Structure 1
Amino acid sequence: MTVAAAPVFRRVRFVLGGALALITALAAPAAAGPAAPAAPVRAPSPLAVAFDTASARYDVPRDLLVALGYAETRLDMHAGAPSAAGGHGLMHLVHNPRQRTLDEAATLTGLDRAALRADPAANVLGAAAVLRAYADEAGLTATARDDLGRWYGAVARYGGAREASAARLYADTVYDLLRSGFSSDAGESVPGRAVTLRRGELERAAPGGIGTLSADYPPAAWAPASTSNYTVASRPGSHPVTYVVIHVTQGSYAGSISWFQNPAAQVSAHYTFRSSDGAVTQSVREKDIAWHAGNWTYNTRSIGIEHEGYVDNPAWFTDAMYRASAALTRSLTAKYGIPRDRAHIIGHIEVPGATHTDPGPNWNWTYYMQLVNGVTGIGSGTVATSGNLNVRSGPGTGYAVVDTLAPGATVSVYCQTAGTSVTGPYGTSTVWNRIGTNRWVSDAYVLTGHSGYIPGVPRC
């Protein structure tokens, strides 16, 4: 049947194409001279094709698929490395004792598990198949599937959370992206739109996805880890608290909180921070011993702080997250008398016997420690150029241009560092201003009211 149908499709397409060409020729005015060369047509990226294909094959809204992948990994395959919860690929297909979306994808698509883990197109296809299966089980008709809000239950189930509050937090994160819109480094762009959420039973879960506030640290929400994943204690009486250990989740914020609630995880942390806005959730009381450092002695003597993201992608390490985390660490050091230095505020990789590398080379210790020690000012400035000012991904002219700013634009300066020497309206300067995550401009083009470094603003 397929072989017979294909030529008919090609003939129809040819006729339609000829008709369109004829209509265009009849409607167009006579050319005054040689026709201008047609602009080159840019072929869609392989990732865009993968989302198009998966969306069409399984009748899953394309932008929903993209938003789910962005919430999980920012559409990054992370060189095939699994997340802390055993998730693979940009869509985070999971294989662990309590969640088996990878296995479900293999059954539904007929694809090999190795391909589903390592091939982006297969990974997207597998996620679409799983979401469609969940939608079918929820009774979504073809008409209902056209309503983005009706996929809420399938999305929540995809996240794998067993607790209603964590399931709602996961799904709300995906839908927040759909409503606000976003652009990824992978080239995918999703415009914001209004979505009416159909939360069903999850409507009764705590607003924002999390229940009561923390008894230890008021800005934090409280989402307790499974009692199988930490040790009850009475610190600091039973064990002195002398360290703060900095981690990176190797997964998403909502997914990590859910993982701590999974009895099979055998891991937890006291606090977890969200990348986008610095929101924080506590999962283990400070008096108790979280299982985070891989070293029992350090577990008993430390507070473990997780940060949403992956060690190989610095885009996760936002100023909002740095500043919120540093505020907690500053509070902890005051509460327990922990010195505010790098001998006591350490990375997971610095724990004796550590097998993990987090927070990795992209974590800015200089910036973080200045924030912990109270250097928390944010400067401001006005761009002065005759044309647009290039915004670069790092502090120097050798870094990629990621944006431009018009003359007169105002910027916030979160921290400053030395970089390439640049001559501009305000002289020659090696100072570069960080105006956002992976966004830098030369100080020679910014009127800040100060010559070079701004007092009270951290060094990066």
Structure 2
Amino acid sequence: MTSITRRHALRAFAAGTAGVTAVSGASIPGASAATGGARQRAFAAAAAEFGVPEPVLLAVSYLKSRWDSHGGAPSTGAGFGPLHLTDLRAVAAGGSHHDHGAEDPRGDTARRVLTPRTSPALQTVDLAASLTGVDAETLRTDPEQNIRGGAAVLAHYQRELGVRADRPDDWYGAVARYSGSSDTGAAAFFADQVFATITTGASRTTDDGQAVTLPATPVSPRREQVRALGLPTIAEGAPEAPPGLPVEWIPAPYQDLGNGDYGNYDQADRPNSQQITHIVIHDTECSYDEAIGLVQDPTYVSWHYTLRSTDGHVAQHVLTKDVAWHAGNWYLNAKSIGIEHEGFAAQGTWFTEAMYRASATLVRYLAGKYRIPLDREHIVGHDNVPGTVPSTVAGMHWDPAPYWDWAHYFDLLGAPLSRRPLRQPTGMVMIKPDFASNTTGYTGCDTSAPAAACPARGSSALFLRTEPRDDAPLLSDPGLHPDGGPSTTGISDVGSRVSTGQRYAVAETRGDWTAIWFLGQQGWLRSSGVVPVLGQVVTPRPGLESVPVYGRAYPEPAAYPAGIPPQEIVPLQYTLPAGQKYTAGPAVPGEYLWATTFDPAQHVVVRGTTQYVQIQFGHRVAFVKLDDVLVTRTRP
């Protein structure tokens, strides 16, 4: 990725997991630490050594890491290990993902292009080192010592609060402080999630094969303890927040910058003006504090919400009725909500359970409010958003990248992927590898050594091959590799990659391999990474050798009123050949939001008669004209 000038480059920018068992209402058999594995015994030993109730230590770790060690790699909040000891010095980064590459977050050529800052973070690894005598490097990389360090920090917080008690109920204040939150609401939300986990219990196998169980234990936490932390109470005031989730209102500036320029979003009247059909999941590629600073800059771009990694704290910046500049595709910007998650996809970092839960709570609320289906056709990653025209394809962004756990996220959304598994072939499959064991080999996480292998960590994505063998070349993507060469294993290269929850039409099967239609080619992957599903597919109408594929669903020129220049309907550099099938997502209208002035009264939604179908064409979605294709339903 290359940097480009600040303001102009920015407007060019903006135009469940295997082994998891949730248990509620009863103790979990076989949970004794004496008979548990090494990770379970480490929790029991650390709890006893530092006087922390074992259920509290287990639940805090679950809300931070789900007990995973992540091989010593940092989280998106600069936290390490099962207890998420934070060390910003080891994960220094700057800028945001909107500062890199050639993507225009607004994604609208009718307006000229827009184009920034490291913030302090908690250093709990230093406190843990002083309390345990263990050096920071060991605390970051040794799971057992990390658990000891986390228990020592919790016990230290409890002593500072002056509370002496053995019952989990009396540890609410220390747990709230361990969240790392800078305000009372976020600290209390984290603590509430921890104590809810104690109440329901949990059991899973970690990323390194450790079985850990937290027996269900009824608790009545002393929530009033949070006041003793002395944290400020932020006036949340966010106009669109689900019950029980504190959401802070930090508005993005809608500001006239003179000379016909303005920032950093467009006022609108959705869903009255246009339906909201998609929610786009991003990561920030910078710290939460830095992202908050950027979204308040009128010369920068915008998004609707930001989530903090450490505790899942949420801030809203743009009303969902308004159009934020975030996805790099103006058609989807006009019909979507953008949510940024504190994270560093390029560094191969991992996302905390606290943030997953807060995000799922928010998205479930927004999807219900706007009747957005909870599936991968409507809840998409930034990496699934298509380029608008051929020249923008290569510069599109690829966050939140393969380390976002889509299966777990949809479990938290209450919409498990493939909830009714089919046993017989249907002609369509859903991508569904086991996240923890799918340690797909990527390169390029370390920008100083782009050819070096990324850490071997769980992933939601799989590579496609040109033939049914593991050493076959990857597919070619003419948009990303116009020289005709194959795609690569680079973490930013989505040219031959599929992701959990995406659905594709089957082209062929051979033994343990399945071929799917992908970018006009057959792509092979192991059948163990897919499950059969039902749905609709599109194929060219009889008599058509191929049909064009589009990155946006714009109306026909005749639909534009006088004074509004028609937006060109430009096919991408791909085609959908006869005989191939692609899974159909929603049918969408040909629409264009003309918004080039500070005064929203002058904005116009242009609607045509042309209808489109969203399809899963490659790793990204695309659009085809409904008149060009036949839509049929798959059958067992």
From 215, 225, 250, the counterpart of 2:239: 215
- How far 1:100 moved relative to its partner? 1.9
- How far 1:132 moved relative to its partner? 0.7
**Letter of the 1:86 counterpart:** A
From 89, 95, 102, the counterpart of 2:87: 95
From 147, 160, 163, the counterpart of 2:167: 147
Contact 1:108/1:130 (8 A) holds in 2: yes
Corresponding residue for 1:59? Answer: 51
Name the CA distance, whole Å, in 2 between partners of 1:111 and 1:377: 42
- How far 1:285 moved relative to its partner? 2.6
Name the CA distance, whole Å, in 1 between partners of 2:126 and 2:185: 26
From 169, 175, 180, the counterpart of 1:160: 180
Name the CA distance, whole Å, in 2 between partners of 1:115 and 1:292: 39
Name the CA distance, whole Å, in 2 between partners of 1:193 and 1:58: 21
Contact 1:70/1:184 (8 A) holds in 2: no
Name the CA distance, whole Å, in 2 between partners of 1:108 and 1:346: 41
Contact 1:272/1:282 (8 A) holds in 2: yes
Counterpart of 2:266 in 1: which secondary structure?
coil
Name the CA distance, whole Å, in 2 between partners of 1:171 and 1:139: 18
- How far 1:284 moved relative to its partner? 2.2
From 210, 220, 223, the counterpart of 1:199: 223
**Counterpart mapping for 1:6-405 below 5 A:** 44-96=36-88, 97-141=120-164, 144=165, 146-186=166-206, 187-202=211-226, 214-216=238-240, 221=245, 223-224=247-248, 231=253, 235-237=265-267, 245-247=280-282, 260=288, 262=289, 266=293, 270-271=304-305, 283-286=316-319, 303-306=337-340, 325=363, 328=366, 346-348=381-383, 352=395, 354=397, 356-358=399-401, 360=403, 363=406
Contact 2:76/2:349 (8 A) holds in 1: no
Name the CA distance, whole Å, in 1 between partners of 2:329 and 2:504: 38
Q: Deviations over 1:343-375 (max 9, x none)?
A: 9955258694747443657537xx99xx9xxx9
Give the structure with the higher percent strand: 2
Larger Rg: 1
Counterpart of 1:358 in 2: which secondary structure?
coil
Counterpart of 1:286 in 2: which secondary structure?
coil
Q: What fraction of aligned residue pairs are identical, expressed as a percent?
A: 30
TM-score, normalised on structure 2?
0.40
**Letter of the 1:91 counterpart:** L
**Letter of the 1:109 counterpart:** T
**Counterpart mapping for 1:416-431 below 5 A:** none
In structure 1, the gaps of 5 or more residues are 1-41, 251-255, 335-339, 384-392, 401-413, 422-437, 444-456
Name the CA distance, whole Å, in 2 between partners of 1:170 and 1:458: 44
Q: Deviations over 1:250-290 (max 9, x none)?
A: 9xxxxx9xx85x5787577634799xxxx996532337898
Give the structure with the higher percent helix: 1
Counterpart of 1:111 in 2: which secondary structure?
coil
Contact 1:105/1:126 (8 A) holds in 2: yes
Contact 1:159/1:167 (8 A) holds in 2: yes
Name the CA distance, whole Å, in 2 between partners of 1:360 and 1:182: 23
**Letter of the 1:235 counterpart:** Y
Question: In angstroms, what is the RMSD of aligned CA positions?
Answer: 6.1
Name the CA distance, whole Å, in 2 between partners of 1:99 and 1:152: 20
Name the CA distance, whole Å, in 1 between partners of 2:150 and 2:504: 42
Name the CA distance, whole Å, in 2 between partners of 1:343 and 1:57: 48
Name the CA distance, whole Å, in 1 between partners of 2:433 and 2:401: 23
- How far 1:202 moved relative to its partner? 3.4
Counterpart of 2:205 in 1: which secondary structure?
coil
- How far 1:75 moved relative to its partner? 0.9
Name the CA distance, whole Å, in 2 between partners of 1:377 and 1:93: 32
Q: Deviations over 1:38-68 (max 9, x none)?
A: xxxx964221221122112111111211111
Contact 1:377/1:458 (8 A) holds in 2: no
Name the CA distance, whole Å, in 2 between partners of 1:69 and 1:377: 26
Name the CA distance, whole Å, in 2 between partners of 1:341 and 1:170: 28
